[in-house]
Structure 1
Amino acid sequence: MPAEPNAKNGAKLFKTRCAQCHTVDEGAGNKVGPSLHGLVGRQSGQVEGFAYTEANKKAAVTWDEENLFKYLENPKKFIPGTKMVFAGLKKEKDRRDLIAFLKENS
């Protein structure tokens, strides 16, 4: 049985793997990537003022835990045509921890 997700570890992962392109704080706005504040439960391609690829807009994915888990393993496989250059998190625990952090900031 997998260990409980650790949002503190997820925060560290966000800082080292995501924060150069994304923000999570309310009102912080977009960077190279869209703001991830309120991500969990939102549909893909919906952040105001961010220029998404057609692939992202048309994916119509609702960002729940299951979809985030698959996406974070290999974004380009999950949404072919995305411009996100992130290669993904191969370790299941890292993905679960990052999702726990994103849920806390949604």
Structure 2
Amino acid sequence: MAIASKLVNTIAACAMLAACGSPQENPSDTGSNKETASKMPKAVPGKTLFMQCAACHSLDADGPKKTGPNLHNVVGRKAGSVEGYRYSKALGAADFAWTREKLDEFITKPFATVPGTIMAFSGIADSEKRKQLIDYIESTDSPAAD
């Protein structure tokens, strides 16, 4: 029964991710949107990209563990270390901390970075989108306690 439940959750997560595509560019765009975008803080475009992640992950300090672990303060955290979250054997045994570089590598190709991960996400090929996403994730972190 637990396997069937995981399968249903994985299929549902995949369906949600598939539904979250990037908006099509408007060929009649006059450039005003590009001017507005250049004035936005660097993390704002990443917020839109995070919508597909939000189906499985929270960024709130006290946010819940969902299908995936809470990502609040993920940069600098040891992989597989969120208290009470059941990781795949591969990620639970991972011996690294999440740096911007490691997140970039993982978001590019999760299955290649951590073979055996159960994260239902194929990755983001566009390096600029990955940077925007990581900027946004990091912008939501709490400052380190002194």
* Distance apart, 1:6 and its partner CA: 2.7
Q: Give the equivalent residue in structure 1 for 2:111.
A: 76
Q: Give the equivalent residue in structure 1 for 2:47.
A: 11
Q: Give the equivalent residue in structure 2 for 1:33.
A: 68
2:87 pairs with 1:52? yes
Higher relative contact order (CA 8 A, sep 6+): 1
Q: Distance in 2 between matches of 1:61 and 1:52?
A: 15
* Distance apart, 1:60 and its partner CA: 1.6
Identity within the alignment, %: 38
2:143 pairs with 1:93? no
What secondary structure does 1:69 align onto? helix
Q: Distance in 2 between matches of 1:23 and 1:10?
A: 14
Q: Distance in 2 between matches of 1:60 and 1:35?
A: 19
The alignment's C-alpha RMSD in Å is 1.2
How many residues were matched structurally? Answer: 101
Task: Calculate the TM-score normalised by the size of structure 2.
Answer: 0.67
Unaligned stretches of 5+ in structure 2? 1-40, 142-146
Write out per-residue CA displacement over residues 29-82 of structure 1, whole angstroms, 9 at most, x where no aligned residue.
Answer: 200000001101001100011100110011122111111111100001000000
- Structure number with greater Rg is 2
Unaligned stretches of 5+ in structure 1? none
Paired letter, 1:18: C
Task: Calculate the TM-score normalised by the size of structure 1.
Answer: 0.91
Paired letter, 2:67: V
2:77 pairs with 1:42? yes
What secondary structure does 2:105 align onto? helix
Q: Distance in 1 between matches of 2:129 and 2:83?
A: 28
